[in-house]
Copies of this chain bind each other. A is one copy, B any other.
């Protein structure tokens, strides 16, 4: 049996693994657009790109215990019998990277990293086993200036992605910790945060009960913690109240002061005050973050959750190096944002990145059509010369399906007269233009070039 016959008799089912997905053109064009915008914003603030391998030693990603009870990882033994795992976030690889290349990169070091990560969790609505992360971080400094910059980047990202209705929620772990320390409860911080995190599920009474049961926190103290997280008003008023509540507690007051500096500076630098909210209830990352914390919500669709989150941490790479690397950063939820934008209908989905199709009426004039395509391209006009020898009707059907905006048409009459017909496929209007006119017309109609 020849290999050709064998292929014919035993077709393999074309399928995608559970929890994984293909990106078809319309989604992928939109996704590339978001990624390019994110990259351009990061670059515009002087963050540099890095990349790390998809595969790392399991010890590097999970520590020596290699405990994967909490998170199901894609872990296996490679050809060299090494215990390896596919990266499940970009933070641990960055910690490993920073420890390994510290002398080359120096500090402060600002990097962005767009990369795919894999988690073998049970896939559910909007949850996949493969997704992209878009992180940016500044490490090697505990300066408030890098907190300020992080907030500016988040704001710029949202604006450049086309949003104007969003709210960046900000908290500072030092404030709650200051209060807990003042009341002799700092050792219970983890239990407190875990309980607070459940407030939507178990309610106020549930949170108070859990703090009592898990950490022996008295009801009035639990009430005090809850009141703190429930503070309302504008940031300035809240911070003034917090100064009173934390009176005499040095690090708590330092947290308040730092938070005030961040607010005041970004507003003075041009961020609209109504897009910022001091929200002492957000507790992202529980133990991980130690200073400022950010979450970003779409005003019209808070149900999508935070689309850009992050915060400050004390030490990035303690697992790998004795050098302390404090840092601050955030991560753009690209796929979540894409899903939101599609649902909110604020994204033009296109099947094809080109705007113009050059149709073929006269096969003996092929070079002319290609030459025109090159001329348009040189003028920045994305175009496609129809790639087959088919009837004109079929070419227009293809143009329709792909969503081109303009079709160029020319047969022997047009070649004789030295003109091109250009048809606006939306307006269904056609006109005859010289080549120079055509290029000028398309440039003005299509500017600014869509991505």
- The quantity of this chain's copies bound in the complex is 2
Q: Scoring A residues 53 to 67 as 1 if CB is less than 8 Å from chain B, else 0, what string do you get?
A: 111110110011000
Q: Are A54 and B367 in contact (CB under 8 A)?
A: no
Which of A48, A352, A401 lies at the interface centre, i.e. has the most chain B CB atoms within 10 A of its CB?
A: A48
Q: Are B110 and A384 in contact (CB under 8 A)?
A: yes
Rounded to whole angstroms, the CA-CA distance of A295 and B401 in the bound complex is: 33
Q: Are B105 and A387 in contact (CB under 8 A)?
A: no
Q: Does A270 contact B (CB under 8 A)?
A: yes
Q: Does A338 contact B (CB under 8 A)?
A: no
Q: Are B354 and A12 in contact (CB under 8 A)?
A: no
Q: Are B145 and A318 in contact (CB under 8 A)?
A: no
Q: Does A18 contact B (CB under 8 A)?
A: yes
A130-B53 CB under 8 A given contacts A25-B105, A370-B269:
yes
Query: Closest B-chain residue to A108, C-beta based?
Result: B387
Q: Does A7 contact B (CB under 8 A)?
A: yes
Query: Closest B-chain residue to A450, C-beta based?
Result: B43
Q: Are A321 and B56 in contact (CB under 8 A)?
A: no
A399 to chain B, nearest CB (A): 11
Q: Does A243 contact B (CB under 8 A)?
A: no
Q: Are B29 and A39 in contact (CB under 8 A)?
A: no
Q: Are B351 and A80 in contact (CB under 8 A)?
A: no
User: Which B residues lie within 8 Å of A60 (CB)?
Assistant: 12, 14-15
Q: Does A201 contact B (CB under 8 A)?
A: no
Rounded to whole angstroms, the CA-CA distance of A210 and B373 in the bound complex is: 47
Stretch from A146-154, A169-177, A297-305 at the B interface: A146-154
Q: Are B351 and A145 in contact (CB under 8 A)?
A: no
Q: Are B388 and A141 in contact (CB under 8 A)?
A: yes
Q: Are A77 and B76 in contact (CB under 8 A)?
A: yes
Binding site for B on A (CB under 8 A): 4, 7-8, 10-18, 20-25, 28-29, 31-32, 36, 39, 43-57, 59-60, 63-64, 72, 74, 76-80, 82, 84, 86, 96-97, 99-101, 104-106, 108, 110-111, 116, 118, 120, 130, 138, 141, 143, 145-146, 148-149, 152, 156, 261, 264-266, 268-270, 317-322, 351-354, 357, 360, 366-368, 370-371, 373-374, 377, 382-389, 398, 401-402
5 tightest Cβ-Cβ pairs between the two chains A and B: A46-B384, A268-B367, A76-B76, A25-B48, A269-B370
